[in-house]
Amino acid sequence: MVVLFFAFFFIAFLGLCAVVVDLGIARTTQLQMQTSADVAALEGLSGRDAPVPDPDQQRRQTASLLAQLVFDEDLDPATGPDQYRLGAGLVLGTGVSGVNDPTGGVLDPGAPWVPSLQLNVASNLQNGDLVAGAFSALDPADPSRVDWHDESTDYSRLDFSPEAGGTAFLARLRRTRPGQPLDRVAGVSSAGPTLPYLFGLGSAALGTPDPAAYDPRRDGITVRAAAIADARPVTAAGLARPGLPGLAPLATGATTTEVRWLSFDAAAWATVPVEGPFTAVLDASGVISGTAAGVAIAGTPRLGALALEGPVLIPGSPSPELDGLAYASLHSRDQGTGALQLRGFVAVEIEVAAVEPGPTLRLVGIKLDDTVAPGNATAQPSAALAPSIPPVAPSDARLLAPVLAR
């Protein structure tokens, strides 16, 4: 009787082990794929307005590369297979009758799946691996809608719509069975093989699957991962560095560590049209005079490091970072205390930076529309922006940073 009870218990125990092992592997694989998708989505969005030729092509290439580098120990694909064989789940060898046929397949622990995302640059189709678009966090008509973030079988979503110049970017990885018409389209989408059952491939569990129907024991487990990065207003930014855009460094104060950058009065800046030119002239006393669209605007521009005012040391030649894309802060003055308060950040295109007799530093630039920062900026909550001060109005041209939305 004890032996019979033990036999039944052992069979049930093996079944439980099969569930734990196979579902555990599937969950681990999905998390690995999700990490790769998160990285690709953030990189794809951050490169939208990068100062490079053909930024859309460049950002998709970089996103695809970084999705692979998540699984590369030395971050160099040219070095070939790495010691630990990292990847998004195992791949079962191919047998005579199917991708995951246990009668002819062998598990090769040295061959994990590594994604090779297609760029989807020409068509930007919704089923692609990399898709630029627009994201909406809630259904405007019904904010409580529970299926708003679901993805349908044709990869369409209610919360995301493809849009070539959109302020969101979607990246997806998938491991699906062959024959899915949307999953393996050259230049648009890619897919790895299904995730094989391991413990569940025992002869008692395998049975005799119907060759005409999908059977996960033979055809494997489908695993997908998708991430959406959305652009949000920047709350903090760093000073520009060689090769890295940032706050435009104009001069130093009493010490060389007291760097002053460009800042505009928020109300005055809002009156400047997008693509409108501006001029800023800084003298050694720390006073800035400026015009926008050829008209003098009181209170703008101004030195950054808002608590630090007074004389500045103008360099003998302008900083090399005062060329091309640069960031500037927006400020307003508290009507009660008179203190300057940070309101947000914007992007400008600096066309001329010159040190002239006086000495003075003269800048000529253009106000840019909403711009996604390619780096050196964050949209995470910042103590520098007082909660009581509203952010820059949505109608203003803003500096944006990518954050994971889904």
pLDDT in tens, 284-303: 877 777 776 555 655 545 55
| pLDDT higher than 70, residue 385 | no
Confidence of residue 117 (pLDDT cuts 50, 70, 90): very high
pLDDT attached to residue 294: 59
Give the pLDDT band of residue 194 (cuts 50, 70, 90).
confident
Please state the pTM of the whole predicted model.
0.84
| Start-to-end Cα distance in the chain | 55
Range 138-149 average pLDDT: 84
pLDDT at 382: 65
User: Using an 8 Å Cβ cutoff, are 376 and 241 in contact?
Assistant: yes
CA pair distance 170, 124, nearest whole angstrom: 11
The one-letter amino acid at 353:
A
Is the pLDDT at 13 greater than 60, yes or no?
Answer: yes
146-177 pLDDT tens trace: 888 888 989 999 989 999 888 999 999 999 88
pLDDT on residue 301: 52
Give tens-digit pLDDT for 60-94. 999 999 999 888 877 777 776 666 677 787 776 54
| Segment among 30-44, 171-185, 250-264, 322-336 with least mean pLDDT | 250-264
- Contact between 12 and 204 (Cβ < 8 Å): no
- Other CB atoms closer than 10 Å to residue 287's CB: what's the count? 15
Q: How confident is the model at residue 100, as a pLDDT?
A: 46
Rounded to 5 degrees, what are φ and ψ at 226?
-140, 145
Cis amide linkage into residue 391, ω under 30° from 0: no
**What is the pLDDT at residue 97?**
36
| Residue that the structure tokens 């998390």 belong to | 31
Quick check: 60 and 121 in contact, CB under 8 A? yes
Most confident of 113-127, 243-257, 341-355: 113-127
Mean pLDDT of 11-25: 73
Report the candidate in 248, 238, 262 with the shortest Cα–Cα distance to residue 375: 238
Q: DSSP letter for 241, please.
A: B
* Half-sphere CA count of 85, side-chain side, radius 13 A: 9
Q: Is the pLDDT of residue 134 over 50?
A: yes
Q: What is the mean pLDDT of residues 169-196?
A: 90
Find out whether 259 and 370 touch, Cβ atoms under 8 Å: no
331, pLDDT greater than 60: yes
Answer yes or no: are the C-beta atoms of 67 and 39 closer than 8 Å: yes
Give the integer Cα–Cα distance in Å for 253 and 275: 31
CA distance 192 to 303: 53
- For residue 86, the cross-strand partners are none
What mean pLDDT value characterizes the chain? Answer: 79
The mean pLDDT value for 120-134 works out to 93
Assign 148 to helix, strand or coil: coil
pLDDT at 347 over 80: yes
Cis amide linkage into residue 301, ω under 30° from 0: yes
CB-side neighbour CA atoms (13 Å) of 294 = 0
Residue 208 has pLDDT above 70, yes or no: no
| Phi, psi of 270, rounded to the nearest 5 degrees | -65, -20
Bridge partner residues of 37 (DSSP): none
- 1-10, 45-54, 244-253, range with greatest mean pLDDT: 45-54
Could you tell me whether strands 360-367 and 277-283 are parallel, antiparallel, or unpaired per DSSP bridges? antiparallel
Mean pLDDT (whole number) for 115-140: 91
Give 315-329 pLDDT, tens digit per residue: 888 888 888 899 988
Per-domain boundaries in the chain? 10-232, 236-404
pLDDT-based confidence at residue 108 (cuts at 50, 70, 90): low
Q: Is 50 exceeded by the pLDDT of residue 305?
A: no
Please state, in angstroms and as integers, the Cα–Cα distance from residue 208 to each residue in 140, 347, 368, following that order: 50, 63, 64
Q: What is the pLDDT of residue 169?
A: 96
Under DSSP, the state recorded for 107 is B
pLDDT of residue 306: 43
With a CB cutoff of 8 Å and minimum separation 6, the contacts of 91 are 108, 111, 112, 113, 192, 193, 196
Q: What is the spatial distance between Cα 102 and Cα 113, in angstroms, rounded to a whole number?
A: 18
Averaged over 108-117, what is the pLDDT? Answer: 74
Please state at what angle helix 55-69 crosses helix 2-46, rounded to 10 degrees. 150
